[in-house]
Amino acid sequence: QVQLVESGGGSVQVGGSLRLSCSPSGFAASGVCMAWFRQVPGQEREGVAGISGDGTPTYATSVNARFTISRDNTKNTVYLQMNSLTPEDTGMYYCAAAMTRGCPPPQATSQYRFGGQGTQVTVSS
């Protein structure tokens, strides 16, 4: 069973920064695609960023150049550094694992495993 523990969310003002962390249990995050999604009530879950097993990052257009996804294999942890936050970044952020080396398209949420409670990010103006 995939378990993912997300942390690092909080409330910040516009322009602020947060760093989210995801700690998988039961498997090693290294070598597989890990990703971050976010969801706002009433809307579908949206892919934000992914990092393939070989370390190649991909980003949604809306967060490109502001967010950075990374992985620390020694800590088995995946991070999402979020800078220049805007109110549109508000939502519940979820970590996901694709269990494949490459990252499936973010729209293919059925190919991702979500095993955490999420962490709330709130950006206020």
- Tens of pLDDT along 34-82? 999 999 999 999 999 999 999 999 999 999 999 999 999 999 999 999 9
Residue 1 pLDDT > 80, yes or no?
no
* Residue 10: per-residue pLDDT: 98
Instruction: Give the dihedral sign, CA 29/34/36/37.
Output: negative
How would residue 26 be classed by pLDDT, with cut points 50, 70 and 90?
Answer: confident
Residue 115 pLDDT > 90, yes or no?
no
Note the residue count of the chain. 125
* Residue 116: per-residue pLDDT: 86
CA–CA separation, 16 and 64 (whole Å)? 16
Mean pLDDT computed over every residue of the chain? 95
